[in-house]
Chains A and B, each alone.
Chain A
């Protein structure tokens, strides 16, 4: 996104132009439906409003999608993130629920460390299956997607574990400097990943592995190790997302926590401009994608769209975004416009119709 200023003339050609336009349109539609949607007030010493909710609730998705971006960049895919979310939340909440004093910071930290450790092991498992044994990523991670949710239910004994721990709640609903803690944490992790991949050669190496693993290996890159690392990072991100989701409601639900989040994450990555074929990846794009998806979900609630049609509404917006992003579709569109001789056709209007439909 920082590239905007330097490439102002090419702004409409930027891969994030259309996702951002749709995001703005969605927020605008909400504001027209209910002007107070944009209101952000200070309540109990922190920011309060629908926009703040969107940002706070998108934090776990941003994290999961961040890990997913790296995995997809290596040419893989990680279907197991939803299950890792459930497992990490379950382990953390179970440990806290067994503490005599659930508010003790030490107990919470131990719980976080345990859950994080388990998640790293799960990531290592995925990475080993893909990078060492050579199973196709979609199958390798499918195993944990199914088994992991079972594991989470085993940990919670099929019950919802309710906890009452202020330090743990902080991760999901706490605030720092009036901002939701969750989004601060998510942005901090994003920054860390961005620095690690873009200020060192790591990012380029990941892209090289995704572009052609064999060629990069011959060029001296330890492709297997990079691939393995990507799955471990993905699981680590999912683990933190799991803390946020369970802390948000102070309970671990092995059956529902993180359900289908892998699909949202993949969508966020794709909207952000990263190709599923691997190679180039865009962290900023992923964040815009995640924000767009969360805005869509919150819009359904805020505009009180009938639940029966909500999925259709979401699908239409996503289709619109994907279509206008596809170069082939845009080329076809432009050509048709040229042949019909209407060079000034207001494409923006048509886009708006697509979204509003």
Chain B
């Protein structure tokens, strides 16, 4: 080993180089969508540069499809970039958009912080910026025109309001367990806050256990298994997304209880599998968190391009589902 140490280091160096090349190759592919800068400006068509977080979930893919379809429908030329969940990719994409002199830039920030410099560049180039789905924490609110996305606090509140109505006549305590999303993420924090504040209206409602299930089915199931063993009387499950609720379903069934009856289940998102569970009577209520913000985004792009004033915060059009409405909505569900 020691004798060949030198060759090893050289080999190692070669490997790093190879990995580096591979990585650049990958990003080059990813960027090919935005490749031809050509006649971005010039004709009347609005050019919208959109940088997506990635393709990490069904929700996100539905979001991407919605933006692409809405752009085609609205006659807007879309330059789409997939940031593959990396901020540096996203910053590079936005710089590309600026160089290409697109008319409007929209993006779903991968993380909340670190956007001031690149947003300033866009502002200097007089290109309006729209944030979609996720916010940034820039102190300077003039760096972007508006933030279009769901109100997570409201989703939590709507879930709680349904429960308040449902348990209006309950005389005894109602035991609630909560499956939180990824610790520290905005949807987890806000949904917890919205739900917690709203149920305070009825002192009978009590959250007896609350744990993070990481927004995944496996996480939801593992946590629910322990909740069920630790708490003999659970009346309600509030899960921060459908997937954790679906995982919890399995744990509840394995414990010999009937989901939807013995334990009422409230979730957020309304993805297809969740809606199916709701229509089947296994869930009781879903507050929608819609990824279909494409049409609203295109409207906004047209407005800011025309120089119209738009509100600084715009909520995605969303609704809520009960078992009955889920049955009706399910056949037309896009994601």
A interface list, Cβ under 8 A from B: 34, 36-37, 43-44, 48-50, 53, 57, 134-136, 139-140, 142-143, 147, 153, 157-160, 162, 173, 212-214, 245, 248-251, 253, 255-257, 297-298, 300-302, 304, 307-308, 310-311
Contact = CB atoms under 8 A, between A and B. Distances in A.
Nearest to A246: B218
A112 to B, nearest CB: 19
A304 B8 CA distance: 49
A200 B13 CA distance: 37
A344 to B, nearest CB: 39
Given A49-B229, A214-B4, A300 B211 contact: yes
B60 A158 contact: yes
A253 B215 CA distance: 11
Contacts of B246: 162, 249, 251
Given A160-B243, A302-B229, A307-B183, A255 B56 contact: yes
Contacts of A214: 1, 3-4
B164 interface: no
A50 B226 contact: yes
Nearest to B209: A304
Interface in B208-255: 209-212, 214-219, 221-223, 225-227, 229-230, 243, 246-247, 250, 254-255
Given A49-B229, A139-B12, A301 B211 contact: yes
B222 A297 contact: yes
Given A49-B229, A245-B218, 10 more contacts: A44-B256, A134-B11, A158-B60, A160-B217, A253-B216, A253-B218, A256-B215, A256-B218, A298-B222, A310-B183
B57 interface: yes
B72 to A, nearest CB: 20
B100 interface: no
B180 interface: yes
A311 B211 CA distance: 12
A348 B209 CA distance: 32
B206 to A, nearest CB: 14
B58 A301 contact: no
Contacts of A160: 57-58, 217, 243, 273
Nearest to A245: B218
B15 A249 contact: no
Contacts of B223: 301
A53 B226 contact: yes
Contacts of A147: 22
B41 interface: no
B222 A307 contact: no
A59 to B, nearest CB: 13
A213 B1 contact: yes
B15 to A, nearest CB: 4
B250 A249 contact: yes
B229 A36 contact: yes
B211 A57 contact: no
A16 B209 CA distance: 34
Contacts of A251: 217, 246, 273
A139 B16 contact: yes
Contact of B12 (A37, A136, A142): A136
A173 B180 CA distance: 24
